[in-house]
Amino acid sequence: MNWFIDTISTSIGKKLLMAVTGLGFCMFLLIHMIGNLTLYGGKDLFMAYVEHLHALSPLILAAEIGLVFFACVHVATGLILFLENRRARPVGYAVKKNAGGRTFGSATMPYTGFIILCFLILHLINFRFIEQTPDAIFQAVSGTLSDVSFKIIYIAAVFVVALHVRHGFWSLFQTLGANHLKYMPMIQAIGIAFALLALAGFGLIPIVIGFIA
Ligand code: HEM
């Protein structure tokens, strides 16, 4: 625990923890989205994917433990940074719009992060803490996402995820030292492409779910 206290007590240490855990989430999000794309191929393809996924259970368990650990570090460090920033600047800037490179995405990172945390709890209750057979998981996905309120919640959550990831992706590479004039435009473009890909890949599922059989 000492390494964590030492790292978290410096500003660059906190930013590094956010960057490394954020990169881990981006990788998870990409893998999760590729897996979910099987839904577009119909029930049988999705069930075959879930069956393959569950056959890797020791690996999945290790990944889940890693994800929970990363989530705790990301949320705790983000909360500390948020509180420190508020203490340093309780009133906020008089001119907020794009001051010092600030964008809507960057200014709302703590709030979009909190919304994603709430969404994740709901999402795990919907699809993870249920009977873990391929058929039960398919029924849960198609049943839940056929409900109009859940459709709206899931689409809105995916928008928030895209906004968070779009800024987070750029920011993590900046922290990891890739803030070179030559590479930054490319990293910005990859961040936007990644956010749009997540938006389309996840966000269309609640819209097309009624046609998947
Ligand atoms: C419409 C969009 C989505 C669908 C249909 C979906 C579907 C699923 C399903 C079926 C599972 C359970 C997998 C299994 O145990 O076999 C799951 C787990 C999970 N999802 Fe999603 N998901 C969506 C969006 C998201 C988003 C946007 C995030 C991140 C912000 C996310 C994060 C997770 C996490 C962390 C787990 C637990 C992983 C594990 O325990 O191995 N999901 N999702």
Instruction: Give residue-wise pLDDT tens across range 152-170.
Output: 999 999 999 999 999 999 9
Enumerate the domain spans of the chain: 2-211
Place of tokens 């928030």: 160
Q: Is 116 in the pocket of ligand 1 (CB under 6 A)?
A: yes
Considering only CA atoms, which residue is closest to atom 39 of ligand 1?
A: 64
Ligand 1 center from residue 202 Cα (angstroms): 10
Q: How far apart are CA 134 and CA 51, in angstroms?
A: 6
Give the pTM: 0.91
CATH of region 2-211: 1.20.1300.10
Q: Is 161 in the pocket of ligand 1 (CB under 6 A)?
A: yes
Q: Is 174 in the pocket of ligand 1 (CB under 6 A)?
A: no
Ligand 1 center from residue 71 Cα (angstroms): 14
Considering only CA atoms, which residue is closest to atom 9 of ligand 1?
A: 127
Instruction: Give residue-wise pLDDT tens across range 105-160.
Output: 999 999 999 999 999 999 999 999 999 999 999 999 999 999 999 999 999 999 99
Confidence of residue 78 (pLDDT cuts 50, 70, 90): very high
Both structure tokens of 122 = 């709901």
Q: Is 206 in the pocket of ligand 1 (CB under 6 A)?
A: yes
Place of tokens 């389309």: 200
Q: Please say whether the beta carbons of 77 and 14 come within 8 A.
A: yes
Q: What is the DSSP letter of 40?
A: G
Phi and psi, residue 89, nearest 5°: -145, 70
| pLDDT of 1 | 66
Which of 180, 123, 183 minimizes the C-alpha distance to 150?
123
Residues whose CB falls within 8 Å of the CB of residue 128, separated by 6 or more in sequence, listed in order? none
Widest distance between CA atoms in the chain: 56
Q: Is 199 in the pocket of ligand 1 (CB under 6 A)?
A: no
Ligand 1 center from residue 32 Cα (angstroms): 7
